[in-house]
A and B are shown apart, each in its own frame.
Chain A
Amino acid sequence: MNLSFDEQQEMMRKSIRDFLEDHYPVSKTRVFTEEDQEMDLKLWKGIADLGITGILIQEEYGGLGLTPVDQLVIQEEMGRYLTPAPVKVNALASYLLNNASNVEDYREKLMEIAEGKSICTIGLLERSGKWDQPSTNVKQNAGSLLLNGTKIGVSFAAMSHDVLVSAIDEQGKVGLYLVPLEEEGVSCRMVKTVDATLPWYEVTFQNVRLPQESKLIDGVKSLFETCIQVGSVFTCAESLGGMERILKLTNEYAKERIQFGKPIGSFQAIKHKLADMLVNIERAKALIYYASLEFVEKVDTAALSIASAKILTADSYYSVVREGIQIHGGMGFSWEHDMHLYLRRSTVNQSEFGDPGQHKKVMRKELGLEEIKDTISATIVS
Chain B
Amino acid sequence: MKENERLFEQLGEVNEEFIVEAAPKARIRRSGIKWAAMAVAGAAAAGVLVWQTGALEKNTKKPDEGKTSHVMEFPDDGSEPEKIVSSGEIDHGGAGSYTLMANDISQIIGNNPTREGSSFTKLPVFNGVINEFGEFDKDGDGKIDEGSEEKYKELRMDELNRAASFFTDKEVWINRDDDFGIEGAAGDVRVSLYGYGNLNIDFGTPIELPDEYKIRTMNNGKTIEESEKSVQYICDKYKDLLRFDSPEASIVENYDIYNNCNTGFYAYDKSDDPLTALINYNFNSADFRTDEKQIVDDPDALENPYDGFEYSGDLAHIGTSSRLDYLEFVGNYPIISYDEAYEKLINDPEAYIWPENLPDGLKKDEIFYAGIKYERTADYKYRLPYYMFYVEVHPEREGIYKLPEGRKEYEPAYILAVKKDYMEFPDTEVAFN
**Are A and B part of the same complex?**
no
B-side residues, CB < 8 A to A, are none
